[in-house]
Amino acid sequence: MFGDGGPVVRSTTEEASDFMEAVDVENGEYDVVYDESGLILRPQVQGRRVHLLPTGSGDHGDLIRRLSEWCQTNGLSLDSHSADFPAQVARRIAEAEWRTRWPKRPAWLSRMIHGSAPSRFDT
């Protein structure tokens, strides 16, 4: 997901739609939502829930461009020509989110809210 705050990554479409708030979708906070292959997903609000629907079109080039710009801004040197580049960047973003998560203590509460490790992005 791309919006004002840079890329937001989640390991599944369901997790991504659960993360999104209906009011943010209605206010146009997201520029574009991609899956890992560059397929464009359209956020649709039903009640107070957000569902991500495949549009049937994609823009892998734009996904790579946006992720490359994020890497450059954040001082990451990753090969944007690698087949698993989107997954590599997603892992880095998830790891950074994991390091800054709140709360970290007590440990049982952190595990209950965040799980025991950052999201995985397997290729």
Q: What is the pLDDT of residues 29-75, one digit of tens each?
A: 999 999 999 999 999 999 999 999 999 999 999 999 999 999 999 99
Domain assignment present for 119 = no
With respect to residue 66, please indicate whether it lies within any of the assigned structural domains.
Answer: yes
pTM: predicted TM-score of the whole model, two decimal places: 0.79
Query: Could you give the CA distance from residue 38 to residue 66 in angstroms, rounded to a whole number?
Result: 11
pLDDT attached to residue 30? 93
- Is 25 among the domain residues? yes
The amino acid at 59? D
120 inside domain: no
Residue 122 forms part of a structural domain:
no
What number of residues does the chain have?
Answer: 123
Instruction: Say how many CA atoms lie within 13 Å of 100 toward its Cβ.
Output: 5
Q: What pLDDT, on the 0 to 100 scale, is given for residue 108?
A: 85
Percent pLDDT > 90 in the chain is 67
Please check whether residue 89 is in contact with residue 71, taking contact to mean a CB–CB distance below 8 angstroms.
yes
Question: Is residue 74 in a domain?
Answer: yes
Domain range for residue 108?
Answer: 2-114
**pLDDT for position 105:** 75
Instruction: Note whether residue 123 is domain-resident.
Output: no
The verdict on residue 63 lying in a domain is: yes
Domain count along the chain: 1
